[in-house]
Structure 1
Amino acid sequence: MLIGAHALVFSGSFDAAGLTLAIEKTKQAGFDLIEIPLMDPFHFDRMLAARLLQENELAVSASLGLSEATDLTSDDPDVVTRGERMLEKCLEIVHAMGGSDLCGVIYSAMKKYMAPATPAGRASSAAALARLASRAEGLGIRLSLEVVNRYETNLMNTGRQALAFLDEVGHDNVSVHLDTYHMNIEESDLYTPVLDVGNRLGYAHVGESHRGYLGSGTVDFGSFFRGLARIGYDGPVVFESFSSAVVNEDLSRMLGIWRNLWDDPDDLGAHANRFIRTQLRAVETIALH
Structure 2
Amino acid sequence: MTIGCHGLVWTGVFDAPGIRLAAEKTKQAGFDLIEYPLMDPFSFDVAAARSALDEHGLQVSASLGLSEATDISSEDASVVAAGEALLLRAVDVLADLGGTYFCGVIYSAMKKYLEPATPQGIANSQRVIARVADHAAERGVRVAVEVVNRYETNVLNTSRQALAYLAEIDRPNLGVHLDTYHMNIEESDMFAPVLDAADALHYVHIGESHRGYLGTGSVDFDTFFRALARLDYQGPITFESFSSVVVAPDLSRMLGIWRNLWTDNDDLGAHANAFIRGKLAAVDTIRPH
TM-score (ref. length: structure 1): 0.98
- What CA distance in whole angstroms lies between the structure 2 residues aligned with 1:29 and 1:10? 11
Partner of residue 9, structure 2: 9
CA apart distance, 1:288: 6.0
> C-alpha offsets along residues 88-118 of structure 1, whole Å, 9 cap, x if unaligned?
1101100111000110000000011111111
CA deviation vs aligned residue, 1:46-97 (integer Å, no higher than 9, x gap): 1110111011100000000001100111111111110000011101100111
CA distance in 1, matches of 2:130, 2:40: 23
Aligned length: 289
Question: Which ranges in structure 2 are unaligned for 5 or more consecutive residues?
Answer: none
Counterpart residue number, 1:266: 266
Identity percentage over the alignment? 63
1:199 matched residue in structure 2: 199
User: Residue 90 of structure 2 aligns with which residue?
Assistant: 90
AA matched with 2:102 = L
Instruction: Give how far 1:248 is off.
Output: 2.8
**Residue pair 1:4, 1:31 contacting (<8 A) in 2 also:** yes
Q: Is the 8 A contact 1:47 1:96 kept in 2?
A: no
Residue matched to 1:125: 125
SS at match of 2:80: helix
Secondary structure at 1:140 match in 2:
coil
Shift in Å, 1:212: 0.3
1:197-240 CA-to-partner distances (Å, cap 9, x unmatched) read: 11100000000000000000000000000000001100000000
Distance 1:47 1:156 in 2: 34
Aligned 1:1-289 pairs, distance under 5 A = 1-287=1-287
Unaligned runs of 5+ in 1: none
- Match for 1:114: what amino acid? L
* Separation (CA, whole Å) in 1 of partners of 2:147 and 2:82: 22
Q: Deviations over 1:122-155 (max 9, x none)?
A: 1111011111111100100011000000000011
TM-score (norm 2): 0.98
1:44 is paired with a residue whose SS is: coil
Displacement of 1:258: 1.6
Equivalent position SS for 2:183: helix
- Quick one: distance in 2 between partners of 1:137 and 1:63? 17
Moved over 3 A (4+): none
Instruction: Read off the aligned partner of 2:123 and give its amino acid letter.
Output: A
- For the residues of structure 2 that align with 1:252 and 1:67, how far apart are their CA atoms? 13
Spell out, residue by residue over 1:20-62, the C-alpha distance to the aligned partner (whole angstroms, 9 max, x if none).
Answer: 1100000000000000001111111011101110111000000
Alpha-carbon distance, 1:251 to partner: 2.4
